[in-house]
Structure 1
Amino acid sequence: MTAPGLLSGITVLDFSRVLAGPMATQILAELGATVIKVERPGRGDETRDFQPTLPHGESAYFFAFNRSKKSITLDLKHERGKKIARQLAKTADVVVENFLPGHMDRMGLGYDALSAENQELVYVSNTGFGQSGPNKDVKGYDTIFQAMSGIMDLTGHPDAPPAKAGIPLSDMTSGLWIVIGALAGLASKAATGRGAHIDVAMMDVQVSLLALAAARVFANNENPTRVGTEHLGRVPSAAFECLDGGWLHISGSDVHWLPLCEVLALDELAAAEELRANSGRVQHRELVMTALRAAIGGRYREELAKDLRAAGVPVGEIRSVREVLDDNNTEARRMIGTFDHPTEGEFPAIRTPLAVSDDGGTQGIPPMQAPPLLGADTDHILRTVLELGDHEIAALHEERII
C-alpha cells in the first residue's frame, strides 16, 4: 500500500541543476509534492549527459536525482521565458535554485521580485558559499568543499594523503539541508502566512559537520587529523582484518568491553582494571589495539561477527556497494525499487528512505516515478497551469522559447 503523499498539494518550482538541488527536489517529489523542473531547451540539466550512460542514451546519474518530477523547458535568456517562469512562481509554494548570488535577481526571478507577487513563497537558494561573505561569488564543486571544510584532512589514514569521502558528501548533505530549509519555510508559512528566503551554503553545511572535531579544538586546543577507521575518543572503534581477509568494524563502550574480551579470549586485558573505562583504553590505545588485531586476525569474519552479536557487542562487516544492495535487510526494507522509463524501460533505484504508517499500521512507501524526458511536460503545464492556448504554445515552440 502506498500512503498519501505527506506533501500532497505542495508545488515546487525547481531551477536547480546537477546534484544537491535535484536531490532535494526529488525527496520533496517522492514525499508527494508536485515538482516542476525548469530546464534549458535542447540540453536541459547538464547531468543528462553524465556517465554512466544507458543503452538508449539516458544518464544513470540523472536518473539517481530526478525521479518523480515534471520537466518544462524555458529559455530564461528570453523575456517571454522569464515571464512564464514568473507566472509559474505565482502558483508555487517553494522555489529552489542554485545559481551564484545575484544571478536570479538579474533575470527578475530573485526572491524580492517573486515574493512581491506571491508573499507566501518559500524561496531556497543553494550556493557554494552563501548569499553574503567574502567568497559568495566563488564557484565550487563537491570535492572543493570537502577540501576547504577540513573533511579531506580528517579522512584517510595517518600515514596516507588526505582522501575524499567515497560518496559526494558535500552535495548530498547540502541536499538534505535544502529539504530541511524548504520544510521549515513551509511550516513558518503555515503559521504566519508569509514565506521566507532560505540561504543554504554548501560550505556552511560542511562546517556544521565538524561539530565533534571542533569540540576537540574548543575543549583541548588540539587540531584533529586523520585516524583511519579509529576514533580519537573511543577505544575500541576501528576496522580489523580477519583471518579470511574480510574486515569487521567494532565499536564499543564500557559495557561492551568485557563481553568483547570474553569472545576473543583476551583474559589478561579483561582483568586489567585500568582498561575497564574508556579513558584508560584511550590512554593505552596501542596496547589494546595490538591485542585486538592479533585476536581478530585469527578468526573468520562471519563466525566472529555472529559471536560478537550474540554477546551484544556492536559490530559491522565492511561491505561493498554490491553486497549492500543484495543484503537481506535492504530487501526487507524495500530500499530498492524500480520505475518504468519511456525509453530505457524498467530501471532500479534506491528509494527515498521514509515509510509512513497509517492508522492501520501499514507502512506506505513513497512512490517512485521515472525521471522526465527533457521538456516532456512543457505543453501540459503551460496548458493546465497557465491556461495558454494551442496557438500560444505553438508560437513559443517556433520562437524556441520552450
Structure 2
Amino acid sequence: MKPLEGVRIVELARVLACPFADMILAELGAEVIKIEQPGSGDETRGYEPFIGADAARAALPPEKRDDEAAIAAAIGVERSGYFYACNRGKLSVTANLRSEAGRAVVRDLIGTADVLIENFPTGGLRKYGLDWPSVKAGNQRLIYVSCTGFGQKGPMASRKGYDTVFQAMGGLMSLTGEKGGGPVKPGLPIADLSSGLWIAIGILSMLTGRSQTGRGGYLDFAMLDGQISLLTLAAARHFALGEVPARLGTEHPGRVPSATFRCRDGGFVHITGADQHWAPLCRLLDIADWGADPRFATNSGRVRHRAEVMARLEEAIAGLSRAELCDACDAAGVPAGPVRDLAEVLHDEQVADHRLVREFDHPEAGTFPGLALPFRFEGFDDPDFLRPPTLGEHTDAVLRDRLGYTPERIAALRSEGAI
C-alpha cells in the first residue's frame, strides 16, 4: 500500500507549481484527475524541450527550421519534456469550462474529491461557479487549495506574475550573484518548484487535520509568501544584525571557508568546513603553518579576515586538480564536493544505486527517462514511477467509472463540445 491510496485530487491547474505538487502526491498513491481544456490542454504540452525536435527540424523545409511553431506542429503536443517532468501518474479528463455542461462535469468530479487544487487568477473560478463558496456545500470533506501569485487579499491580490517575478520580489535574486555584480536568477524555477512543495505540505497537513475533524477546509497559498518564507537565515541576519546581505557568489555570509574554488584543471570544488575542519584542510593544502595563525582558529576570526583567508586558500587550491582536491578532502574528513554538470549528476553511480533516474513508456514518445521521487519507505510501498497522460486519455473511463455516466451521456457531452 502506498501512503496516499484512496485520496482523490481534482487538478484545475496548469504549468508548473501545482502540477508538480500533484505529481508528487500521485506517485505517493493519490488518484489525480487533471482537468484540461479540450483540444489544447495544459499549455505546457506545447512547451520546449520537444522530444524528437532535431529530427522534426531536419524534416522541415530550410526556411521553417527556426520556426518553433512549425517544429511543435510537426512533433505534436504529446512530446513535451516540460509537460512530462511534472505530470506523471495523472488521469487526464477534458472539460470545457466555457460550457455549462462541461462545468457540471467538473462539479460532479469535485463532489467525489478529497482535494481540489486550482491556480486561476484570484477570483477567476467565481464566474464558473467553481470557487470555494460555490462548491463547499456540496462536499463537506473537500480540501480546496487556491494557489495564486499574491494571495486572495491584500494590495497586490489582483497582480499576475511568474516564477522569476516571485524570485525577484521575494528577495532571492537580491542574494544571488557574484560579489559586486548584479542579481542573478538560479538555474531552476525555484519559486515554482518550492511552491509545489509548500502546496504538497499544505495538502498533507489538511488531510491529517480532516482525519481528526471529518471536515475539509480552504487553503489560500500565495507564491510570493512561499518565497519570503524561504529567506530563513538571510532574514535571521537582518533581524539580528540589521544587515541587508550582499551578494557573495558561492561564499557563505557567516562561515569561512564555505565557497567554491577553481582548480588547476578548470574544475570547481565546493568546500564547507567548521572549526574542526580548518587544521585538516590547511594540512592537506600544505599550508599548515599559515593556518595555525591564531587569528584564523575560529570561524568568527576567519569571517573577520575573510579576504585574506580566501585569497590564501584560492592560491593553494589552484595547484590541485578537481579530483586531487576531492580525494584529499575525503581522506582528511573535510566536507567537500565537486561542482558537477547535469550529465555528471544524472550518470553518477550513487544516482544509479538510488534509482533516481528511471524510464516510462509513452504511446507518443516511446521510452523516456525522468527523475523519481526521492523516497524509500519501510512499512509502505515505494512511490510509483508512472507515465504522463495523453490529452483526454481518461475522460471516458473517469466519467463512466467515477461518476456513473452512461456511454450515451458521454457521447452527447462530446458532441456538444463539453468534453
> TM-score over 0.5 for the alignment?
yes
SS in 1 for 2:250: coil
Partner of 2:397 in structure 1? 380
- Aligned to 1:199, the other structure's residue is in SS state strand
Partner of 2:86: 65
The correspondence of residues 130-141 of structure 1 with structure 2, limited to 5 A, is: 130-141=151-162
Residue of structure 2 aligned with 1:185, choices 206, 221, 229 = 206
What corresponds to 1:37 in structure 2?
Answer: 34
Aligned mate of 1:317, from 338, 349, 352: 338
Contact conserved, 1:239 with 1:250, CA < 8 A, in 2? yes
Question: What SS class does the counterpart of residue 357 from structure 1 fall into?
Answer: coil
User: Cα distance, 1:269 vs. partner?
Assistant: 2.8
In structure 1, distance between residues paired with 2:221 and 2:353: 35
| Unaligned residue ranges in structure 1 (runs of 5+) | none
1:216 to 237, 260, 265: 237
Which residue of the partner structure matches residue 109 of structure 1? 130
**Residue equivalent to 2:71:** none
The structural deviation recorded for 1:160 is 2.0
Task: Report the equivalent of 2:316.
Answer: 295
Partners of 1:18 and 1:5 lie apart in 2 by 26
Moved more, 261-270 or 59-68: 261-270
What pairs up with 1:163-174 in 2 under 5 angstroms? 163-174=184-195
SS at match of 2:155: coil
Report the aligned-residue RMSD.
1.1
Q: Match for residue 94 of structure 1? A: 115
Q: 1:51-74 deviations in whole A, cap 9, x for unaligned?
A: 111234311100000000000000
> Does 1:328 pair with 2:349?
yes
Q: Post-superposition shift, 1:210?
A: 1.0
Q: Shift of the alpha carbon at 1:399? A: 0.4
Contact 2:279 2:288 in 1 (8 A): no
Q: CA deviation at 1:17?
A: 0.2
Contact 1:21 1:98 in 2 (8 A): yes
Match of residue 12, structure 1, among 9, 12, 18: 9
Checking the alignment, whether the CA contact within 8 Å between 2:26 and 2:90 is kept in structure 1 is yes
Report how far residue 225 of structure 1 moved: 2.1
Deviations 1:349-395 (A, max 9, x none): 00111111238xxxx53111111110000011111111111111111
Counterpart of 1:119 in structure 2 is 140
In structure 2, the gaps of 5 or more residues are 53-74
The aligned residue for residue 253 of structure 1 is 274
Q: Report deviation, 1:189.
A: 0.5
Match of 1:370 in 2: 387
For 2:106, the equivalent position in structure 1 comes to 85
Of 250, 267, 272, which aligns to 1:229? 250
Residue deviations 1:109-154 (CA, integer Å, cap 9, x gap)? 1112222111111111111001111111101000111111111111
1:274 Cα deviation from its structure 2 partner? 2.0
Answer yes or no: is the 8 Å Cα contact 2:2–2:382 preserved in 1: no
Provide the C-alpha distance between the structure 2 equivalents of 1:5 and 1:214, rounded to a whole number of angstroms.
38
Q: Which residue of 2 aligns with 1:24?
A: 21
Aligned: 1:263 with 2:260: no
- Counterpart AA for 1:148: M
Give per-residue Cα distances to partners, 1:247-275, cap 9 Å, x unaligned: 00000111111111111111233321221
Whole-angstrom CA distance in 2 between matches of 1:381 and 1:356 = 30
Deviations 1:86-127 (A, max 9, x none): 111111001110011111222111112222111111111111
- Counting aligned pairs with the same residue, the percent is 49
Q: Quick one: which of 362, 365, 388 aligns to 1:341?
A: 362
8 Å contact 1:305–1:317 — kept in the other structure?
A: yes
Q: Normalized against structure 2, the TM-score is what?
A: 0.93
Question: Greater shift after overlay, 106-115 or 34-43?
Answer: 106-115
For residue 356 of structure 1, give the secondary structure of its aligned residue in structure 2: coil
Residues in 2 aligned to 1:365 and 1:337: alpha-carbon distance in whole angstroms: 14
2:270 maps to 1:273: no
Whole-angstrom distance in 2 between the partners of 1:28 and 1:115: 22
The counterpart of 1:156, out of the listed 177, 193, 196, is: 177
Shift of residue 311, structure 1, vs aligned partner: 0.9
Q: Secondary structure at the match of 1:137?
A: coil
Instruction: Check conservation: 1:240, 1:249, Cα contact below 8 A.
Output: yes
Number of residues of Structure 1 aligned to a counterpart in Structure 2:
395
Distance 2:232 2:249 in 1: 18
Question: Does the 8 Å contact 2:357/2:370 carry over to 1?
Answer: yes
Structure 2 residue identity aligned to 1:63? Y
Separation of aligned partners in 1, 2:181 and 2:242: 24
User: Relative to structure 2, which stretch is displaced further, 40-49 or 159-168?
Assistant: 159-168
Letter of the 1:292 partner, please give it: L
Q: In structure 2, how many angstroms separate the alpha carbons of the residues matched to 1:250 and 1:287?
A: 17
CA distance in structure 2 between the aligned counterparts of 1:32 and 1:214, rounded to whole angstroms: 36
Query: Structure 1 counterpart of 2:402, which letter?
Result: V
**How many angstroms does 1:159 deviate by?**
2.5
Paired residue secondary structure (2:125) = helix
